[in-house]
Amino acid sequence: MSARTQADSPELELLLLCAGVRATAGATGRIETLLGGDLNWDRLLRAAYGHGVAPLLHSRLGGFSQAMPPEVLERLRAHFGVARARNLYLAGELLKLLGVLEGHGITALPYKGPVLAVSAYGDLSLREFGDLDVLVRRRDALGAKRALAALGYRPWSTLDPAQEAALLRYEREYPLTRENGTVVELHWTVAPAAVSFMLDCEEMWGRAVRAPFGGPGVRTLSPEDTLLVLCVHGTAHLWERLCWIRDVAGLLECPTGLDHELLLARARASNAKRALLLGLSLASDLLGAELPGNIRRAADADGKVRVLAARAHDRLHESLLASAVREGGTEGSERRAFQSSALDRHRDRLRYRIRRITAPGPADWEAVPLPEKLVPLYPLIRPIRLAARQGLRLMERRA
């Protein structure tokens, strides 16, 4: 199976080659050929910025400076310098806030962000990230919020105790921000409830490992759990950004290695086997990551994986031609169809449909304020609100 097609524009092909994990002689030769052709550099750079792979473009094309317009080189250098400085600042901020949380007796596991940059790219400068993702236990989330107030972090919006109770019960993260724009997301689970991937965070806590980062290192998710989380996240968001595929490809190529049988077993137990195979297939087909035979065969045998991989690839091409990433802007019906198709079993898809109707969000507890003791009633209130809204729309159409 190959997600690449002859319809790729030269800009997308060059972007994929520069983001690839294997700098082969064939890839180098093809880059030289593309650079000698007719490229839309503005389109290429906008796509690189939007898909979070501009540092990789800068790194890979550094050896081809004679074949590139000087103004393009300068734009890439400037962007790389800003991104590197931001990454260094956020890496230091992560160590600082982990120390504060530890001082308050709160254990936290950073994942994605700077920790992933080091483990999947081998270089803090090569992965762009704009916030810090930290996993805490649900019971520690409010304590972590209070502890980080000492560093100037505040919730994005003011919540009363009942709203915070609803947030902890039904959401997966509590975003905090500082006046300088730094964002920390306190997670207690790693997948949106509605998508029906059954990732057990408590088990992940027990499998946490120490990763090299900032001197003695930090504790983070195991490589297998990190890869599974990345594949679930990418699938839930329709693989709208190339950097998410590159994260997976980088982890697959880590010299420390992965236990692929263990990875598959955890994916099956989490109802996320198809999501895993989809992410791994995209990393292999688009960016050259090497897959073991058993995973390749499992992906090739799943017709829905092939269809979803083709859709993700087409989306990358469309976003490049449109000079904009479609993240968050995908039509609801298309998004739901993709997410549903990525689930492993019929009962998972049924659960997904039910949760789409019953899983409450901030709009529900803002529209219908309840005291803290009645927060468990929101899954009953949400379907009523949806039905009322649909009824109003029908009346407006008939009027």
Confidence of residue 326 (pLDDT cuts 50, 70, 90): low
Residue percentage of the chain with pLDDT more than 70: 95
Query: Which contiguous run of DSSP H or E holds residue 209?
Result: strand 209-211
pLDDT for position 389? 85
Confidence of residue 331 (pLDDT cuts 50, 70, 90): low
304-323 tens-digit pLDDT: 999 999 999 998 888 877 75
Helices (H), the chain: 10-19, 25-35, 41-50, 54-61, 70-103, 113-116, 141-148, 161-170, 201-206, 223-236, 242-252, 260-269, 273-287, 293-301, 303-321, 332-341, 346-358, 362-367, 378-398
User: What mean pLDDT is predicted for residues 324-338?
Assistant: 69
Confidence of residue 282 (pLDDT cuts 50, 70, 90): very high
376-397 tens-digit pLDDT: 999 999 999 999 888 888 777 7
Distant-in-sequence, close-in-space partners of 18: CB < 8 Å, separation ≥ 6: 31, 53, 56, 57, 59, 60, 61
pLDDT for position 324? 56
Distant-in-sequence, close-in-space partners of 128: CB < 8 Å, separation ≥ 6: 52, 53, 54, 55, 83, 87, 243
Domain edges within the chain: 10-137+188-359
Whether residue 2 is predicted with pLDDT greater than 90 in this model: the reply is no
Q: Is 274 exposed, middle or buried (0-12, 13-18, 19+ CB in 10 A)?
A: buried
SS3 68: coil
Range with the poorest average pLDDT among 49-63, 68-82, 313-327, 350-364: 313-327
β pairing state of 183-187 and 131-135: parallel
97-139 tens-digit pLDDT: 999 999 999 999 999 999 999 999 999 999 999 899 999 999 9
209-250 tens-digit pLDDT: 998 887 788 999 999 999 999 999 999 999 999 999 999 999
Confidence of residue 201 (pLDDT cuts 50, 70, 90): confident
Gap between the Cα atoms of 73 and 81, Å rounded = 12
Gap between the Cα atoms of 109 and 224, Å rounded = 15
pLDDT for position 393? 80
Whether residue 202 is predicted with pLDDT greater than 90 in this model: the reply is no
